[in-house]
Each structure stands twice: as structure tokens, then as C-alpha cells.
């Protein structure tokens, strides 16, 4: 019996040392070890056809005593930095799920952690977004900053993350980024998020779907109808994972014509392959205005800066 006890003690100690060893190695490589941080809670898997609203221009205005929120949808996608813990708590109290947005693949000036990026982390400026630069997705410093952003999302009570600009490979990025760089980065982001029981979305980047579909829980797609590429994102629906789909009609915001709505909401023509997508029609500013395929038009109140 003493021999068995000593053997068990030694085995447990060896296992603990091995776990610690791997944790140190993972930290050095910029990868968060799921084995040492993941809890037993279930990661949220949003359902296909879930209703949603996305607001990124300003924080949404929502009293902690609010009895409802506009629109009355299941999911809100909001900025992780500008929205308060209280807002997210209130959304949860009202029965809503919260996806928290941040740019994972680009530097944005004016974010609370912007000063933490190194000059060597930055590539070329994003076309059309002055002051925003592509990031070196393999940089240990970049990954540390993103891990901290994911931790912030968890601390604020978010249910999922919407990491933007992971498709630098498809742009003039100045860093020679490849699809493999994005796949490795998404593996890191998803693993880190899962360690906090946060779901992860794939933002656009249709070229990566075959490689990363097992790693992510939903798609956030922009303009697949405009570019006639909705069939690219259909594998999410087949896998039982939603596609949160955004189109930016020229006439938005405002009541759109039936023909305009039909263009973006039909399952044929340019919208072929979009069956089951959760489609919203938005202004490019991603403010509070939204129109749905039903013709319903709503405006989420915002805090003005």
C-alpha cells in the first residue's frame, strides 16, 4: 500500500511538472494553454437564423434599469472597448447574448492599448482607413495584446468575440502575410477565447473557411451579395453555425424600396447561397440604424461622444 501511494504521488507530481513545463513553453510562444485556464463551462454556440444587431460607431445607450432594448433581437454585436460592463449586464438581464468586437489584425489609433504596439508590428496602412495599419500576425507582442483584449471581453461578460481584419493576406499589407499566417493566428485567437469560454467568429476571409471552420462558432460576413460570393459562406449553415450577414445599400439609412430589400434578402441572383443567413441592412458607419428582410426598420439609441 505504501509503494502504491508513493508511486501515485510521484506520478501526480510528474504530471504537474509536465503541465507547468508546457505552460511555460506556451507562454513563450505566445499561445495560451487551454489545459491550465479552461473552465468546465460550456462555450456558447449561436443558432442558425438567430436575429441580431451590430452597432460599432458609438456605445449603445441603455439604462441599467431598462425593461427593453431596441431592436428586440437575440444578439448584439458591440465594441468591446466603448461599451460598459453595465451595458453588457443589462443586455444579459434582458435575455440577450453579446458578441464583442475588436480589430485583431489591424492597429487602430486611439484605442486604450494602442501605445503597446511596436513599430515593427505594423505593415501598410489599410486602404480607406487613415491611421489604421495591418499587423504582423506572428508577432509575440501582437498576440499578447490580442490575448489581453480577449481577457477584457471575458471580464466584461461578453459571450463571444468578433475579431476583425484577419484577412491581411488578401490585401496590400506590407508584411508578406499569407493565408497560413491568418490560419495560425485564428487558431491562437480561438484557443485563447475558448480558454475563457468565449465563442469566436470568422470575419469575412472566405478563403480560410475550410481550414478554420472547426475552430470558430459563427461567421460575420460583409457584402457577400454585393460581391456574389454568398455560396462561399454556406458551409457555416451546413455545419449548424450561423452567418451574421451585413449589406450596405446605397440608400441606407432610410426606408429601402422593396426591390432593394429583395436584392439583398432573396436566395437567388446575387444572393444565391444565402439561405439561412441572418441578414441585416446597415449604413457603412454601423450606427444604430438597421433594416431587416421583413421590412422592419429600427434604430438603437447611442451615446454621443
Contact 163, 102 (CB under 8 A): yes
The mean pLDDT of the chain is: 89
Comparing 25 with 140, the larger pLDDT belongs to 140
Comparing 27 with 297, the larger pLDDT belongs to 297
What is d(CA 265, CA 279) in angstroms, rounded to the nearest whole number?
7
Q: What is the mean pLDDT of residues 158-179?
A: 98
Q: What is the mean pLDDT of residues 152-173?
A: 98
Contact 274, 225 (CB under 8 A): yes
- 206: Cβ–Cβ under 8 A, 6 or more apart, which residues? 221, 224, 229, 232, 233
| Residue (of 160, 262, 245) closest to 206 by Cα position | 245
pLDDT of 232-246, one tens digit each? Answer: 999 999 999 999 999
What is d(CA 186, CA 289) in angstroms, rounded to the nearest whole number?
30
Residue with the three cell numbers 505552460: 23
Whether 2 shows a pLDDT value over 60: the answer reads no
Contact 283, 252 (CB under 8 A): yes
| Residue (of 207, 227, 91, 107) closest to 160 by Cα position | 91
Q: What is the mean pLDDT of residues 196-211?
A: 98
pLDDT at 208: 98
Contact 293, 279 (CB under 8 A): yes
What is d(CA 170, CA 301) in angstroms, rounded to the nearest whole number?
35
Q: What is the mean pLDDT of residues 133-158?
A: 98
What is d(CA 273, CA 227) in angstroms, rounded to the nearest whole number?
12
pTM of the model: 0.86
pLDDT of 5-54, one tens digit each? Answer: 333 444 443 443 343 333 333 433 344 333 333 445 789 999 999 999 99
What is d(CA 261, CA 224) in angstroms, rounded to the nearest whole number?
14
State the burial class of residue 300 (Cβ atoms within 10 Å of its Cβ: 0-12, 13-18, 19+): buried
| Residue (of 135, 99, 130) closest to 116 by Cα position | 135
**27-55: burial string, b at 16+ Cβ within 10 Å, e else:** eeebbbbeeeeeeeeebbebebeeebbbb
In this structure, the chain runs to a length of 305
pLDDT at 259: 82
Percent share of the chain, pLDDT over 90: 79
What angle separates helix 140-155 from helix 179-195, to the nearest 10 degrees?
Answer: 40
pLDDT at 267: 86
pLDDT at 257: 81
What is d(CA 138, CA 1) in angstroms, rounded to the nearest whole number?
51
What domains does the chain contain, in order, with CATH numbers? Answer: 52-299 (3.20.20.70)
Whether 296 shows a pLDDT value over 50: the answer reads yes
pLDDT of 46-79, one tens digit each? Answer: 999 999 999 999 999 999 999 999 999 999 999 9
> From residue 227, how far is each of 22, 169, 207, 231 by CA, in Å?
44, 18, 14, 11
Comparing 100 with 250, the larger pLDDT belongs to 100
Question: Hey, what's the cell of 294?
Answer: 421583413
State the DSSP code for 302. B
pLDDT at 305: 67
Amino acid at each position: 500500500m505504501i509503494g502504491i501511494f508513493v508511486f501515485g504521488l510521484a506520478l501526480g507530481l510528474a504530471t504537474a511538472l509536465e503541465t507547468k513545463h508546457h505552460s511555460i513553453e506556451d507562454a513563450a510562444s505566445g499561445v495560451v494553454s487551454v489545459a491550465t485556464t479552461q473552465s468546465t463551462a460550456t462555450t456558447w454556440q449561436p443558432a442558425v437564423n438567430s436575429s441580431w444587431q451590430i452597432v460599432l460607431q458609438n456605445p449603445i445607450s441603455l439604462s441599467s434599469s431598462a425593461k427593453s432594448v431596441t431592436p428586440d433581437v437575440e444578439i448584439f454585436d458591440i465594441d468591446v472597448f466603448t461599451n460598459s460592463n453595465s451595458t453588457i449586464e443589462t443586455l444579459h438581464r434582458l435575455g440577450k447574448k453579446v458578441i464583442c468586437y475588436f480589430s485583431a489584425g489591424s492597429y487602430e489609433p486611439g484605442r486604450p492599448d494602442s501605445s503597446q504596439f511596436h513599430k515593427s508590428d505594423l505593415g501598410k496602412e489599410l486602404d480607406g482607413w487613415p491611421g489604421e495599419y495591418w499587423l504582423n500576425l506572428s508577432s509575440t507582442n501582437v498576440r499578447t495584446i490580442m490575448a489581453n483584449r480577449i481577457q477584457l471581453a471575458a471580464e466584461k461578460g461578453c459571450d463571444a468575440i468578433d475579431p476583425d481584419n484577419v484577412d491581411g493576406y488578401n490585401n496590400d499589407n506590407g508584411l508578406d502575410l499569407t493565408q497560413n499566417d491568418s490560419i495560425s493566428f485564428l487558431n491562437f485567437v480561438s484557443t485563447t477565447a475558448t480558454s475563457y469560454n468565449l465563442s469566436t467568429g470568422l470575419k469575412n476571409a472566405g478563403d480560410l473557411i475550410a481550414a478554420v471552420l472547426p475552430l470558430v462558432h459563427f461567421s460575420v460576413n460583409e457584402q457577400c451579395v454585393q460581391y456574389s460570393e454568398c455560396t462561399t459562406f454556406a458551409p457555416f449553415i451546413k455545419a449548424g453555425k450561423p452567418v451574421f450577414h451585413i449589406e450596405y445599400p446605397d440608400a441606407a439609412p432610410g426606408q429601402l424600396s422593396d426591390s432593394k430589400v429583395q436584392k439583398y434578402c432573396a436566395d437567388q441572383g446575387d444572393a444565391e447561397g444565402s439561405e439561412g443567413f441572418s441578414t441585416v441592412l446597415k449604413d457603412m458607419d454601423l450606427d444604430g440604424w438597421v433594416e431587416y428582410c421583413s421590412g422592419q426598420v429600427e434604430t438603437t439609441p447611442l451615446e454621443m461622444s
